[in-house]
């Protein structure tokens, strides 16, 4: 399995994006079916903590090509994933949207970082944790791995100050974000233009340094 994580400020935008696909389907039972209704539902908890700038936590979970899960099994996988990530699914609102427009069976999960109690889930090292959880889910549900074997290769070493800043600001270290984005961008050995475009989509500006032979 592969997971891709993003964060955001507004729920309406992410729900507009996810539900605009013709093949999109809501898998879990929630109070609402449209982007407007879902964002209004999430706003109830969000309004409890106006100090939280980015309450949106969005992750896509994807299976290798050729592997497929039924809707009910996807829900089991998602609930296990969120629990292992440290999210109390009885307190935090979440929506599961399935897309069927690619060769890879996948779902999108939108989580409200703010619980109905007003408590906040802190996703500081969520990218690294998610990679670990993927391996656990593969064993738990008998799924195939779609990750490179050398998951730890090229991971940046973080200084104490960087870790303390990440904890204080509740944002992952820049080094870690770039490292994970590069890993995902090169996973299928793309050409240089595709690689750069993928990084640009993640908000990372890549400037190629091309050396002419003989110079």
Confirm if 149 and 134 have CB atoms less than 8 A apart.
Answer: no
Q: How far apart are CA 112 and CA 45, in angstroms?
A: 8
- Which of these three, 147, 175, 192, is where a domain ends? 147
Structurally, the chain folds into a number of domains equal to 2
- Structural domain range at position 161: 154-204
Q: Please check whether residues 10 and 91 belong to one and the same domain.
A: yes
163: its two tokens: 């870790």
Please give the average per-residue pLDDT across 167-178, as a whole number.
Answer: 65
Closest CA to 154 of 190, 130, 197, 185: 185
Q: Establish if 213 belongs to a structural domain.
A: no
More confident residue, 157 or 132: 132
On average, the pLDDT of the chain sits at: 83
Q: Please check whether residues 71 and 172 belong to one and the same domain.
A: no
Q: Please check whether residues 83 and 183 belong to one and the same domain.
A: no
- CA angle at residue 160 from 135 to 54, to 5 degrees? 65
pLDDT band at 15 (very low <50, low <70, confident <90, very high): very high
Please give the average per-residue pLDDT across 60-82, as a whole number.
Answer: 94
Q: Please check whether residues 8 and 88 belong to one and the same domain.
A: yes
- Which of these three, 128, 147, 166, is where a domain ends? 147
Longest alpha-carbon distance in the chain:
65
Return the pLDDT at 163. 61
- The percent of residues in the chain predicted with pLDDT above 90, rounded, is 54
Q: How far apart are CA 3 and CA 203, in angstroms?
A: 18
Q: Please check whether residues 103 and 182 belong to one and the same domain.
A: no
Return the pLDDT at 214. 44
Q: How far apart are CA 194 and CA 172, in angstroms?
A: 25
Q: Is the model's pLDDT at 191 over the cut of 70?
A: yes
Q: Please check whether residues 69 and 162 belong to one and the same domain.
A: no
pLDDT band at 51 (very low <50, low <70, confident <90, very high): very high
Residue matched to tokens 């999108």: 108
Q: Establish if 54 belongs to a structural domain.
A: yes
Q: Establish if 174 belongs to a structural domain.
A: yes
Q: Is the model's pLDDT at 54 over the cut of 50?
A: yes
Return the pLDDT at 26. 94
Q: Is the model's pLDDT at 197 over the cut of 80?
A: no
Q: Please check whether residues 74 and 171 belong to one and the same domain.
A: no
Taking CA atoms, 157 is separated from 25, 154, 161, 167, in Å, by: 40, 9, 12, 16
Q: Please check whether residues 130 and 162 belong to one and the same domain.
A: no
Q: Please check whether residues 33 and 90 belong to one and the same domain.
A: yes
Return the pLDDT at 193. 73
Taking CA atoms, 35 is separated from 43, 83, 131, 186, 196, in Å, by: 12, 25, 29, 33, 32
Give, rounded to a whole angstrom, the gap between the first and last alpha carbons of the chain.
Answer: 43
Q: Please check whether residues 54 and 78 belong to one and the same domain.
A: yes
Q: Please check whether residues 118 and 184 belong to one and the same domain.
A: no
**pLDDT tens sequence across 74-102:** 999 999 999 999 999 999 999 999 998 77
Q: Please check whether residues 113 and 182 belong to one and the same domain.
A: no
Torsion angle of the four alpha carbons 54, 80, 174, 200, in this order, in degrees rounded to the nearest 10: -80
Return the pLDDT at 215. 43
Ranges 9-13, 20-24, 192-196: which has the least confidence: 192-196
Q: Establish if 60 belongs to a structural domain.
A: yes
Q: Establish if 215 belongs to a structural domain.
A: no
Closest CA to 187 of 108, 109, 104, 123: 104
Q: Is the model's pLDDT at 128 over the cut of 80?
A: yes
Q: Is the model's pLDDT at 210 over the cut of 90?
A: no
């Amino acid at each position: 399995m592969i997971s891709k994580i993003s964060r955001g400020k507004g729920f309406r935008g992410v729900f507009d994006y996810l539900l605009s696909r013709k093949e999109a389907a809501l898998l879990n039972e929630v109070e609402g079916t449209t982007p407007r209704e879902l964002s209004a539902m999430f706003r109830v908890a969000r309004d409890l903590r106006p100090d939280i700038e980015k309450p949106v936590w969005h992750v896509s979970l994807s299976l290798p090509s050729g592997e497929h899960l039924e809707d009910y099994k996807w829900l089991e996988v998602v609930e296990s994933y969120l629990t292992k990530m440290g999210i109390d699914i009885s307190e935090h609102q979440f929506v599961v949207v399935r897309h069927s427009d690619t060769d890879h069976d996948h779902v999108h999960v939108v989580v409200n970082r703010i619980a109905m109690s007003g408590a906040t889930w802190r996703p500081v090292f969520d990218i690294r944790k998610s990679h670990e959880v993927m391996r656990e889910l593969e064993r738990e549900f008998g799924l195939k791995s779609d990750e490179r074997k050398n998951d730890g290769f090229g991971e940046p070493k973080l200084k104490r100050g960087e870790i303390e800043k990440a904890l204080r600001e509740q944002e992952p270290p820049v080094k870690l974000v770039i490292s994970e984005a590069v890993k995902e961008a090169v996973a299928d050995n793309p050409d240089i233009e595709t690689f750069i475009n993928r990084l640009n989509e993640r908000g990372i500006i890549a400037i190629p340094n091309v050396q002419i032979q003989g110079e």
